[in-house]
Structure 1
């Protein structure tokens, strides 16, 4: 595949930004500043304002009454279930913008299905995937500015693996002033799925599998090095830069307790729960694009595993400081 990215100072930039954030929102317990010294009181107010903003809910903008468009095409997600066939997914009118940000192959297509079927509104995407469109994701070609989709999927700069990504490039890929769902999956699992997708084509590429041998090339290990940095960049960028409500969802948590986290997401989106529709979602959790595989293997070198551990530690620090749950199955023991 060739080199994916030029080596940059991404790590240094992330460390500097993290250091600044930690200084802003944490105060050493052994040296509490007085209200009138070094802006201690102002920093605490800024910290609380930041946390209140990030942990808020999506505010429906004027004109957004969560009404569906009955003229444009619709989709029946459960047409073969007579108890649920009457439910349709439709386009909206004047819906407030919300982003779904994730690394590729983190479960975003499955989450789109869950949100579409539980809200009754299509989701959008920046990538115009014809396969997904034909499978019923009719909002795939819709831009966020049209107000016709409940969320808009983007992978930010992590989608473009063949060019240099500096800090400004990454900043401009994702609007920090739009409410955001950040979907995180452990980097090891994400990269295995991502590399698989690189080597698949055709109408079933989102579900097909590949031989283990494709993970035994030099190109794969080059990819692991670069993509681990991209995973960390995407997560740290959203945590550091988002200026609107931010919901952090871990893929592993969504798999373990799907309906619980889906209800929490609907609350974040300020979308009332339709209990009849939600019962049908609970009966059809997998949808058409959740890959089911029981194969477990480990294609990574020891150095790559250390790289994963350190990336997860740094992101867990940011998650903890900002009041979000850490990545499941991990903990920060660096102290």
Structure 2
């Protein structure tokens, strides 16, 4: 092979390795995971994120727990932030049924680990058919308006970015409606279905956590979760977790100069939200639980 061709080949190989490294380092803008089956592309960019101040060095559960706890949520409901809080409080890594390389190199080394060596396992899917996969579940519920908007932002700007106004106005060639309107209609069905299946079809115990309650009283919400999974921590550990509760995994709320939701969207959001709230109340009554976290008011506003 001529020398010139060899040099070009070597340059191509170097460039490929460089692109792979850049992809791995892109902060919290992970690849379009398989659980997002939409025609939206993630935005990739390289930014330097501050280091995470962990309360203690992260470790694996030893010995592994005999039962695996699912951490269930609709995308955009704060799953990554709750995983971060749990890792801060306990020092134990949390797993996921997915492989998000950007999360793996930014504080979540147990991506794609789903056994008892992790504290909880992230999933956005319906309950698995196999009864032995998860013995219990933490169901994190967020107002569908905020969850759907947050995930739309993720699809355009990654885990911590915000979609530009133009993204809400774009129309597809196949439909007269905007991509945003189509997205809201489709995802609202998925939001309701996910919660209905875990509240009515899952055989194990379900601990409901409202994102809004997690924000309002992080300490109490974390204590409830740790009690549910029967994991005890010291007061010092909890205080440390609360002092670093913001971290880098919670998207900063950016005020927009427009409301992306129409009156028709709000009506649909209210109907679906109220049906899910009724399911939560029915589940808690059926299992002789008090209606926790002032349930009726958690998804309001």
TM-score tier, shorter chain, comes to 0.7 to 0.9
CA distances 1:206-246 after superposition (whole Å, capped 9, x unpaired): 11222122112311111111100000000111110122221
1:328 and 2:301 matched: no
SS of 2:276's partner is helix
1:275 and 2:235 matched: yes
Partner residue of 1:206 out of 152, 159, 183: 159
Query: What does residue 152 of structure 1 align with?
Result: 121
1:105 and 2:76 matched: yes
User: Unaligned stretches of 5+ in structure 1?
Assistant: 6-75, 158-169
Following superposition of structure 1 onto structure 2, how do residues 97-246 of structure 1 map, counting pairs within 5 Å?
A: 97-142=68-113, 144-145=114-115, 147-156=116-125, 172=129, 178-200=135-157, 205-217=158-170, 218-246=178-206
The 2-side partners of 1:216 and 1:241 are apart by 38
Query: What does residue 265 of structure 2 align with?
Result: 304
Change (3 A) 1:220 1:244: same
Query: What does residue 212 of structure 2 align with?
Result: 252
Deviates more, 1:271-280 or 1:219-228: 271-280
Number of equivalences: 235
Change (3 A) 1:223 1:141: same
Runs (4 or more) in structure 1 with deviation over 3 Å come to: 170-177
The normalised TM-score by structure 1 is 0.65
Is contact 2:76-2:147 (8 Å) kept?
A: yes
Give how far 1:100 is off.
Answer: 0.5
Query: What does residue 94 of structure 1 align with?
Result: 64
1:261 and 2:233 matched: no
Is contact 2:154-2:160 (8 Å) kept?
A: no
Is contact 1:312-1:327 (8 Å) kept?
A: no
Change (3 A) 1:174 1:314: farther
Is contact 2:52-2:248 (8 Å) kept?
A: no
The 1-side partners of 2:141 and 2:132 are apart by 18
Give how far 1:172 is off.
Answer: 3.6
The normalised TM-score by structure 2 is 0.72
Give how far 1:178 is off.
Answer: 2.1
User: Unaligned stretches of 5+ in structure 2?
Assistant: 1-36, 40-50, 171-177, 285-290
Give how far 1:174 is off.
Answer: 8.9
The 2-side partners of 1:130 and 1:102 are apart by 20
CA distances 1:161-201 after superposition (whole Å, capped 9, x unpaired): xxxxxxxxx7649978520000010111111111111113x
Change (3 A) 1:139 1:177: closer
